[in-house]
Amino acid sequence: MDDFKAPQLKLELSGASSADRLLNLIRQSPIGARYGDYFSALNLQGPTRTQMRLTLPLKPGVVERKLLGSTQFEGVALNNEAWQLALSDMHGLLHFDDAGFHTERIDARNLRQQHKGEPRAIAMLAAVGDRHTKTPGQSVQVALSGKMSAQTLFGEVRAMAPIVAACSGESHWDIVMQVARAPGSERNISTLRLASDLAGAAIDLPPPLGKTAAQSRALSALIPLDLDARPLQLFVDDRVRYTAYSAFDSKPFSRRAAPGARQLEHGGALLQHIKENILHSDLGAEDRYLHLAACDDAAWRAFFRKLDHSAIYVKIAA
């Protein structure tokens, strides 16, 4: 004890532990108080090795509690039904302190994407707290990179069902989920960004979207997780733009949203919110657009006539 006027207990811990204990520690720390909504549905299980320094005040008001440490994942399993994420065999390093946490590259297996009976490899980076995301105003960033199918990514997206049904094979995808403050506001905006060259995936659709597995097409998608923020947008090369708008008044994580959705004031069950609100909502024909350039007009109209999907409007770009 260095100072009897400001008594504090300093602990240094090192050794084998478990991921669930680490998660409980983080939830009970200032990190959990500030950002706990974002990982409330997270479950971690498996072996870890942790080094940690903890400073605890022995007299109220004299010093702040301080937490600093790192944990090596040694085969950890992660599950988060709200985010539709299930990983196994996670290996990598996580750093944490009172301001949040971030990982170095985490290598894992994606249990939601199988190849020849085995989970596909996937890489993950995660950060919580703007000191750890290194972007002012950005409280959460999760990045995933690996091979996935259109069914795995968009199988729950009703607005994209016609396109998903025409896809087969796998492509490499880069996915980033971000939660950040809207410019000039204290309100958080949650966004999902996806990018792929679509190599390895065959798309049985008319030109210009149709392709063989050997061909590449630059695809990017922007999916706002806030219903009143921006439309869902999907771009393929410079020739296809697909846009879907929400047709009802429901704001994310508020008590006004659709019944049955998990609601949290500052985030949390993001993909669950999309699944239960945006994806299963009824959109009018004026609220969904597919813009096509240099395409076979007749082939596309024949394609949509075969679908029981009246809430899609096709616009042929000049």
Summarize the confidence of residues 186-190 as an average pLDDT.
79
Q: What is the pLDDT of residue 295?
A: 53
Flag whether pLDDT at 318 surpasses 90.
no
Of 26-35, 60-69, 151-160, 251-260, least confident by mean pLDDT is 251-260
Burial code of 5-34, b = ≥16 C-beta within 10 A, e = fewer?
A: eeebeeeeeeeebebeebbebbeebbbbeb
**% of the chain exceeding 70 in pLDDT:** 68
Summarize the confidence of residues 229-236 as an average pLDDT.
70
Q: What is the pLDDT of residue 269?
A: 37
Flag whether pLDDT at 289 surpasses 50.
no
Whole-prediction pTM value? 0.75
Q: What is the pLDDT of residue 172?
A: 97
Q: What is the pLDDT of residue 57?
A: 74
Q: For residue 60, is the peptide bond before it cis, meaning its omega torsion is within 30 degrees of 0?
A: no
Confidence of residue 249 (pLDDT cuts 50, 70, 90): very low
Q: What is the pLDDT of residues 41-70, one digit of tens each?
A: 899 999 999 999 988 777 666 667 788 999
Summarize the confidence of residues 129-146 as an average pLDDT.
92
Q: What is the pLDDT of residue 14?
A: 92
Flag whether pLDDT at 121 surpasses 90.
yes
Of 51-65, 157-171, 241-255, least confident by mean pLDDT is 241-255
Confidence of residue 227 (pLDDT cuts 50, 70, 90): low
**How high does pLDDT run on average in the chain?**
76
Q: What is the pLDDT of residue 303?
A: 67
Q: Where are the domains of the chain?
A: 1-123, 149-318
Q: What is the pLDDT of residue 212?
A: 96
**% of the chain exceeding 90 in pLDDT:** 36
Q: Output the 3-class SS for the chain.
A: CCCCCCCEEEEEEEEEEEHHHHHHHHHCCHHHHHHHHHHCCCEEECEEEEEEEEEEECCCCCCCCEEEEEEEEEEEEEEEHHHCEEEEEEEEEEEEECCEEEECCEEEEEEEEEECCEEEEEEEEEEECHHHHCCCCEEEEEEEEEEECHHHHHCCCHHHHHHHHCEEECEEEEEEEEEEECCCCCCEEEEEEEEECCCCEEECCCCCCCECCCCCCCEEEEEECCCCCCCEEEEECCCEEEEECCCCCCCCCCCCCCCCCCCCCCCCCHHHHHHHHHCCCCCCHHHEEEEEECCCHHHHHHHHHCCCCCCCEEEEEC
Of residues 284 and 42, the one with the higher pLDDT is 42
> Which residue in 208, 233, 206 sits closest to 306, CA to CA?
206
Confidence of residue 150 (pLDDT cuts 50, 70, 90): very high
Flag whether pLDDT at 187 surpasses 90.
no
Q: What is the pLDDT of residue 127?
A: 95
Summarize the confidence of residues 242-247 as an average pLDDT.
55
Q: What is the pLDDT of residues 189-216, one digit of tens each?
A: 888 899 999 999 999 987 777 899 999 9
Of residues 181 and 196, the one with the higher pLDDT is 196
Q: What is the pLDDT of residue 44?
A: 97
